[in-house]
């Protein structure tokens, strides 16, 4: 097995101390609300101090080297720092009153992490972790003291604080950002985020600084370290796939792994209101082919590609080798 590094429990605890200091005048994400979350105040993410675990368990719907045979150890965190009107997880991301019942202590979160590791999961996949990074790192310090040794996957919407990401250098082994938009006006209208493009691109630059474009696997093909950038194709080119690919190609590297996703379907506010007509349908063949064509045009050949015809009508996709025409790096 190719080795990868884990910080000592003591160093993780020191990082947690620094991160928890950001909660007192909260700047954990780019909203920088300034509330005192250490005292239970809530900002745009509507989260106080206690981390919220909506669900957890082995998951088989991520990219092949993350899910593997035994599954990714997914932890789905409640609430979110975005308000995507088409969120496929809106029941847990945008219902803070219900999610309050899923609050846990950091020690409980550490126990969940260890349970997933002991169950044989290939990694700990932190899904929508942004608003709880300080608490997560505190829990990881406890889990590390108990022997945690599998990779940590940071699975986020890319609306991240670079200051926070720098403190995650060495804590996270795999970054899995979803680079959602290439236009700030669209981001504001669809996800209620100001300056999404510059903030998300700065975050992905920092992830790339830490990881580079190389993907490191173990002997069984499980990803141990690296950066995979997800791009979800939206109808009417609202995601600006070609512009995001150009940014990655020109400012990072054409060798950065891309996961091009076809799984969009109308849900949440898109179907409960009539305010979002451009999002009211699944993507069509022409839109998918244009996105794939942009990959070809930029010569980006590392990553994974969902089958548009196989894209599901609910929740997360199933990735499998037969859906992966890109070469696998490493």
Domain presence at residue 35:
yes
Span 3-60, pLDDT tens digits:
578 999 999 999 999 999 999 999 999 999 999 999 999 999 999 999 999 999 999 9
Q: Which two tokens stand for residue 219?
A: 């002997």
Domain presence at residue 16:
yes
CA distance 194 to 185: 8
CATH number of the domain at 255, please. 3.20.20.70
CA distance 256 to 259: 10
76 three-state secondary structure: strand
Domain presence at residue 285:
yes
If one counts the domains in the chain, the total is 1
| Domain span holding position 177 | 9-323
CA distance 154 to 157: 10
Domain presence at residue 330:
no
pLDDT on residue 308: 82
Tokens 């997560």, located at residue: 136
CA distance 99 to 189: 25
Q: Torsions phi, psi of 220, nearest 5?
A: -100, 10
Q: Which of 2-11, 103-112, 113-122, 196-205 has the lowest mean pLDDT?
A: 2-11
CA distance 127 to 74: 7
**Residue 219 CB neighbour total at 10 angstroms:** 7
Q: Which residues of 42-61 are buried (b: 16+ CB within 10 A; e: fewer)?
A: bbbbbbbbbbbbbebebbbb
119 three-state secondary structure: coil
Give the global pTM: 0.94
% of the chain at pLDDT higher than 70: 93
């Amino acid at each position: 097995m190719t080795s990868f590094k884990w910080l000592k429990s003591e160093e993780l605890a020191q990082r947690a101390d620094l991160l928890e200091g950001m909660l007192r005048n909260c700047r954990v994400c780019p909203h920088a609300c300034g509330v005192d979350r250490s005292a239970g105040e809530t900002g745009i993410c509507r989260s106080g101090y206690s981390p919220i675990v909506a669900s957890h368990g082995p998951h088989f719907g991520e990219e092949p080297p993350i899910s593997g045979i035994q599954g990714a150890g997914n932890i789905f965190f409640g609430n979110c720092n975005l308000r995507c009107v088409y969120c496929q997880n809106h029941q847990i991301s945008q219902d803070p009153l219900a999610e309050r019942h899923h609050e846990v202590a950091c020690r409980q979160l550490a126990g969940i992490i260890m349970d997933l590791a002991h169950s044989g999961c290939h990694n700990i996949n932190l899904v929508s972790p942004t608003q709880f990074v300080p608490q997560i790192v505190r829990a990881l310090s406890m889990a590390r003291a108990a022997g945690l040794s599998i990779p940590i996957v940071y699975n986020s919407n890319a609306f991240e604080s670079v200051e926070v990401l720098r403190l995650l250098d060495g804590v996270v082994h795999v970054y899995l950002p979803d680079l959602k938009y290439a236009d700030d006006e669209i981001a504001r209208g669809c996800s209620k985020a100001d300056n999404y493009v510059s903030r998300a691109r700065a975050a992905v630059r920092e992830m790339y600084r830490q990881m580079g474009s190389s993907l490191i696997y173990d002997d069984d093909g499980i990803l141990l370290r690296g950066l995979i950038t997800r791009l979800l194709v939206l109808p009417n080119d609202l995601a600006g796939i070609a512009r995001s690919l150009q940014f990655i190609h020109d400012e990072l590297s054409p060798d950065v792994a891309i996961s091009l996703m076809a799984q969009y379907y109308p849900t949440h506010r898109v179907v409960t209101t009539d305010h979002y007509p451009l999002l009211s349908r699944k993507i069509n063949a022409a839109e998918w082919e244009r996105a794939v064509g942009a990959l070809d045009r930029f010569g980006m050949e590392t990553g994974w590609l969902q089958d548009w015809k196989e894209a599901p009508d609910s929740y997360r996709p199933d990735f499998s080798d037969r859906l992966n025409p890109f070469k696998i790096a490493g």
